[in-house]
Structure 1
Amino acid sequence: MRPSVLLRRVISGVHWYVRELTDESAYDRYVAHARKDHPEAEVPSRREFERMRTDRQEKDPRQGFRCC
């Protein structure tokens, strides 16, 4: 395997891992689910999704930890 191909694979793997670790990919999973299971429903923008997610977490302290 050429070094450039190997480097791209490593960078791609690290990028995927960081997105999963920080839950940045949650919106992508949500959109895929909504389009598959609810094709007639309007998919919210990323900003709307993050607002809904934050509101849900703040209503239920078990959903996420907030220090402030």
Structure 2
Amino acid sequence: MSVRHLLARLWWYIREVAGENSYDHYVAHQRQHCRDGSPLTRREFEHLKTASPVRCC
């Protein structure tokens, strides 16, 4: 395993633990399960995440 690959995996893990990938996961979920509407913008998502849990559809 190269150092670059190891660092990329470490960076991915840190982002997952810190919750930085939550918007990316939300958008992927929306595209897969909720085809009738467009996903929230990152700003809207972050605002709702702090105010209340984000729910599907």
Same fold (TM over 0.5): yes
Larger Rg: 1
Q: Does 1:22 align with 2:42?
A: no
Query: Identity over the aligned pairs, expressed in percent?
Result: 38
Normalising by structure 2, we get a TM-score of 0.84
- Structure 2 stretches lacking a partner, 5+ long: none
Q: CA RMSD in A?
A: 1.3
- Structure 1 stretches lacking a partner, 5+ long: 58-68
**Moved runs in structure 1, 4+ residues, more than 6 A?**
none
CA distance in 2, matches of 1:15, 1:40: 33
Aligned positions, number = 53
For CA contacts below 8 A with separation 6 or more, give which structure has more relative contact order. 2
Normalising by structure 1, we get a TM-score of 0.71
